[in-house]
């Protein structure tokens, strides 16, 4: 990088003059293809009036060379030359003679300009060539040129320096290679100044005016950082690069700055406490109460800072705010010092870290320095975004409505009734549509496992519907599915199997060949109730025994735990024998003295007791 392209020379409010003079604004169409907008106009007669003296035998409009001047003059009288002259006047490349013939052939027009049928004098002036009145060929040419002009105008109308599909404007410079361009963030401009960014950059270099200022606020996760930044950099002569700070960030001049943090977000959970309250209900823990209080206090702190900085904010050209959501953004506008529709309020169009003073300086440098980047690549036509984005509802694929068979409609209805266990409704539906209780559910590929209603009820553990289908509607329990299984074989729960056995008892052994259905022995309702009671009692006893075993294990564990802490302890007899051993170790006089003392203390105690009475 040359000295001219030193990072310090690319600060937009103090731009190097050589770099500023070299900047050219780039325009793009909707596909981010660069468009060169030509505003100049060429006089139709310019070439005829000022021919190229160095090459008199060449037509510059048609890019054709001739051997003699006579042939060149003859060429000037041809419709082909007139057409190319019109194209050149409109900034369009010339066409070849064969292409011109194709246009004429498609237009079905004969040349009537006089080049073949009308004799012309060699002395005829070049000005007379264009004095012919309008004929049919002129109309065709004008229509063709109008079409081309319309196409070019549409291209130029859609072309703009804002069509970058990025948050940046792009500028060419002779100091950069062909593949490189300067990038400048659009948000640094106002809606008016962004229409003429180069003129705005030149105005910013006026040193006679007092330096401007901008505000930058960042808020998230309980962290807040704000600053009023002067557009004039402070001197960093002799400064060294600090860890985590470049020379550019050191040169940022902060008129005012403030940072603070409050505990508002639960660790590893994310989101503010108010967000969690709205989503899951208000929690009553100490931590949630603290976060709720800190959130309100943080909001109040921010609004106090904004109010204190109001004299500076009124003079700021830009107010950049980074907030995660609309609720956080409202904190800045609810105080009344900043209005929601203030055009100076802008979002920061880049990824930021935790709000700190150093991060504010870094973001300011990102926004206010020219960035050397690669030239944007055009978007392919296949990936181009449509000019009119359809409504999301219109984008949904219209699924082809498949015409259902009558049996499939019946299947859908009866399965729905079975799921709800509505026996009377099922009976009415079957009678109304005259359906057999054993009719096949369709489509067969979907109900291969459950071809009948009885199979379906059994697999889905609908015990009441199983009993109703067998006892009341007389379903056939011997029907097998494609895998050779009856409805009984699909039952997963004992209650469903008991329903089959009750139905067998109700219908009797003569109803069907029960062995083919694999249903167990018949049981009456009373027998099923007794079995259920026995099973319940056995289950309760087993549960009680298991609970007692668990309690015993817990008691044993606690006993071992206490013994490990205190030891096994000593018995009373051992303690007496120990005292006895102590007395035996004394001499006769010592033992008598000890006994006298004990008797005296006992007498003293009796006297006190009698005195209290």
Count of alpha carbons within 13 angstroms of residue 592, beta-carbon side: 2
Mention every residue, 6+ apart, whose C-beta is less than 8 A from residue 368: 11, 12, 13, 188, 231
H/E element, 575? helix 572-584
Alpha-carbon distances, residue 507 vs 66, 408, 480, 502 (angstroms): 113, 31, 20, 9
- As a whole number of angstroms, the distance between CA 531 and CA 527 comes to 6
For 442, the token pair is 């369709």
Other CB atoms closer than 10 Å to residue 422's CB: what's the count?
A: 15
For 20, the token pair is 């500023």
- As a whole number of angstroms, the distance between CA 482 and CA 181 comes to 71
Alpha-carbon distances, residue 413 vs 113, 122, 264, 362 (angstroms): 82, 97, 53, 66
For 426, the token pair is 């099922």
H/E element, 223? strand 223-230
Bridge pairing between strands 213-220 and 318-322: parallel
What three-state secondary structure class fits 344?
Answer: coil
Alpha-carbon distances, residue 572 vs 361, 559, 580, 583, 598 (angstroms): 81, 21, 13, 17, 21
- As a whole number of angstroms, the distance between CA 539 and CA 544 comes to 9
Facing residues of 374 across strands? 180
Other CB atoms closer than 10 Å to residue 356's CB: what's the count?
A: 15
Q: Which residues of 442-480 are buried (b: 16+ CB within 10 A; e: fewer)?
A: beeeebeebbbbbbbbbbbebbebbbbbbbebebbbbbb
Residue identified by tokens 């206090």 is 297
Q: Per the residue annotation, which of 273, 303, 459, 501 is the catalytic one?
A: 273
Other CB atoms closer than 10 Å to residue 524's CB: what's the count?
A: 12
Cβ atoms 225, 363 nearer than 8 A: no
Cβ atoms 454, 469 nearer than 8 A: yes
Concerning whether 527 is annotated as a catalytic residue, the answer is no
**Where do the H-state alpha helices sit in 255-383?**
273-280, 286-308, 310-313, 326-333, 357-368
Alpha-carbon distances, residue 564 vs 529, 560, 567 (angstroms): 52, 6, 6
For 94, the token pair is 């010339």
Torsion region of 5: left, alpha or beta (phi above 0 gives left; psi -120 to 50 gives alpha): alpha
Show which residues are catalytic.
Answer: 273
């Amino acid at each position: 990088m040359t000295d001219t392209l030193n990072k310090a020379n690319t600060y937009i409010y103090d731009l190097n003059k050589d770099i500023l003079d070299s900047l050219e604004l780039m325009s793009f169409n909707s596909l981010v293809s660069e468009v060169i907008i030509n505003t100049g106009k060429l006089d139709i007669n310019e070439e005829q009036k000022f021919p190229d003296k160095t090459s008199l035998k060449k037509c510059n409009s048609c890019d054709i060379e001739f051997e003699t001047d006579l042939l060149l003059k003859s060429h000037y009288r041809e419709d082909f030359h007139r057409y190319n002259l019109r194209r050149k006047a409109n900034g369009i490349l010339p066409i070849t003679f064969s292409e011109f013939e194709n246009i004429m052939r498609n237009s079905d027009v004969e040349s009537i300009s006089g080049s073949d049928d009308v004799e012309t004098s060699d002395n005829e002036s070049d000005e007379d060539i264009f004095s012919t009145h309008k004929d049919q060929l002129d109309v065709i040419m004008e229509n063709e040129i109008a079409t081309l002009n319309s196409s070019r105008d549409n291209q130029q109308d859609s072309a703009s320096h804002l069509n970058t599909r990025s948050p940046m404007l792009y500028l060419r410079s002779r100091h950069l290679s062909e593949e490189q361009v300067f990038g400048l963030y659009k948000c640094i401009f106002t809606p008016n100044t962004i229409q003429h960014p180069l003129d705005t950059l030149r105005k910013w270099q006026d040193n006679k005016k007092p330096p401007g200022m901008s505000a930058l606020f960042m808020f998230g996760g309980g962290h807040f950082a704000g600053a009023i930044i002067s557009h004039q950099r402070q001197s960093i002569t002799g400064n060294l690069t600090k860890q985590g700070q470049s020379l550019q960030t050191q040169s940022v001049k902060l008129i005012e700055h403030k940072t603070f943090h409050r505990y508002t977000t639960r660790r590893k959970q994310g989101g503010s406490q108010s967000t969690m309250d709205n989503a899951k209900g208000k929690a009553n823990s100490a931590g949630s109460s603290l976060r709720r209080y800190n959130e309100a206090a943080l909001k109040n702190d921010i609004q106090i800072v904004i109010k204190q900085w109001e004299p500076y904010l009124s003079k700021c050209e830009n107010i950049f705010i980074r907030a995660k959501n609309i609720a956080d953004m409202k904190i800045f506008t609810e105080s009344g010092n900043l209005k929601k529709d203030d055009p100076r309020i802008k979002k920061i169009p880049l990824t930021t870290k935790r709000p700190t003073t150093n991060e504010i300086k870094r973001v300011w440098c990102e926004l206010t320095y020219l960035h050397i980047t690669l030239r944007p690549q055009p978007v392919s036509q296949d990936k181009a975004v449509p000019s009119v984005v359809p409504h999301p509802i219109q984008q949904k694929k219209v699924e082809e409505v498949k015409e259902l068979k009558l049996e499939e409609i019946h299947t859908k209805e009866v399965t729905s009734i079975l799921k709800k266990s509505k026996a009377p409704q099922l009976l009415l539906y079957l009678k109304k549509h005259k359906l057999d209780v054993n009719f096949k559910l369709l489509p067969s590929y979907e109900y291969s496992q459950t071809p009948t209603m009885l199979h379906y009820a059994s697999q889905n553990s609908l015990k009441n519907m199983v009993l109703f289908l067998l006892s009341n509607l007389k379903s056939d329990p011997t029907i097998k599915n494609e895998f050779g299984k009856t409805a009984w074989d699909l039952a997963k729960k004992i209650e469903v199997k008991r329903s089959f056995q009750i139905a067998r008892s109700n219908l009797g052994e003569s109803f069907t060949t029960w062995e083919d259905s694999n249903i167990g022995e018949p049981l009456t309702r009373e027998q099923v109730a007794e079995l259920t009671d026995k099973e319940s009692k056995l289950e309760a006893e087993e549960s009680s025994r298991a609970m007692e075993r668990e309690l015993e294990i817990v008691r044993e564990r606690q006993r071992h735990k206490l013994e490990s802490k205190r030891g096994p302890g000593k018995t009373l007899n051992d303690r007496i024998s120990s005292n006895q051993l102590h007395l035996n170790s004394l001499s006769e006089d010592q033992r008598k003295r000890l006994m006298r003392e004990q008797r005296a203390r006992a007498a003293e105690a009796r006297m006190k007791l009698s005195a209290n009475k």
